[in-house]
Amino acid sequence: MNIILLGPPGAGKGTQARYLVEERGMVQLSTGDMLREAKDSGTEMGKVVAEVMAKGQLVTDEIVIGLIREKLETVKANGFIFDGFPRTLAQADALGELLEFEGQTLDAVIEMEVDDEALVQRITARSTCGSCGEVYNDITKPIPPNGKCSNCGGTEFKRRADDNEDSLRTRLMEYYKKTSPLIGYYYAKGNLTRIDGLGEIDTVRGAIAAALDK
């Protein structure tokens, strides 16, 4: 089963993708993570994307489609979770073609709906474990008092360079202008399910499971 998690920055796509990986043995393909890796490794491509990402703008379709193409060609999986991809209509068309070429289908698109105020609160309070990527929130899910990650015991936590209010404003505008048209695109194809992304993590988890198992 191949699925897309669609939603604005801070909707909880990464958090829910991690559960699906654990529970269903699927493989998470996050273009954001791939781009951050490229940035950290200091490659030419990394240098090009670093500035774009810091501003909260979208990286070119050509680059992200290339990253996804490479994964689909080389990784064998019991289903992919596309997290943060596609973000434009051109990317959505390309994903359809790539899956078809690989003899695969797109089985569900889960739209996670969260209002802007909650997104700003979530993102400006967000940090992740430097070892395993577990996501924390200063208010709703603080780092344990002993300073150790509850998942892996790691002691280093980081905040994303683009998790600040300026960059977030641009990221939200990019979402509404370029990504939200995908809601209609997948609705028309008949594989869109909208869920409320504002609830407790486990409630959202249950709603996604129900959508995938129906």
Binding site for ligand AMP (CB under 6 A): 9, 31-32, 35, 52-53, 56-59, 64, 84-85, 87, 91, 162, 171
Q: Which is nearer to ligand AMP, 32 or 193 (CB)?
A: 32
Q: Which among 13, 36, 122, 178 is annotated as catalytic? A: 13
Question: Which residue's CB atom is positioned nearest to ligand AMP?
Answer: 32
Q: How far is the CB of 21 from ligand AMP (least distance, A)?
A: 16
Q: How far is the CB of 145 from ligand AMP (least distance, A)?
A: 28
Q: Which is nearer to ligand AMP, 87 or 204 (CB)?
A: 87
Q: Which is nearer to ligand AMP, 91 or 127 (CB)?
A: 91
Based on its alpha-carbon atoms, the radius of gyration of the chain, rounded to whole angstroms, reads: 17
Q: Which among 18, 36, 87, 178 is annotated as catalytic? A: 87
Q: Which among 18, 36, 171, 178 is annotated as catalytic? A: 171
Q: How far is the CB of 59 from ligand AMP (least distance, A)?
A: 4
Please indicate whether residue 87 is annotated as part of the active site. Answer: yes
Q: 206-214 long-range contacts, Cβ below 8 Å, gap at least 24?
A: 208/16, 208/20, 208/110, 209/23, 211/108, 211/110, 212/1, 212/3, 212/107, 212/108, 212/110
Which pair of structure tokens corresponds to residue 151? 């998942």
Q: Which among 55, 71, 160, 194 is annotated as catalytic? A: 160
Please indicate whether residue 126 is annotated as part of the active site. Answer: yes
Q: Which is nearer to ligand AMP, 9 or 12 (CB)?
A: 9
Q: How far is the CB of 146 from ligand AMP (least distance, A)?
A: 28
Cβ neighbours of 141 (radius 10 Å): 16
Q: How far is the CB of 128 from ligand AMP (least distance, A)?
A: 11
Decide the pairing of beta strands 135-137 and 126-129: antiparallel
Q: What angle do CA 172, 177, 183 make, to 5 degrees?
A: 95
At how many degrees (to 10) do helices 89-101 and 181-189 cross? 40
Cα dist. 123→53, 57, 118, 160 in Å? 15, 16, 9, 9
CB 6 within 8 Å of CB 16: no
Q: What are phi and psi of 10, to 5 degrees?
A: 90, 0
Q: Which is nearer to ligand AMP, 181 or 210 (CB)?
A: 181
Helix residue ranges, H only, 75-161: 89-101, 116-124
Please indicate whether residue 171 is annotated as part of the active site. Answer: yes
Catalytic residues: 13, 87, 126, 160, 171
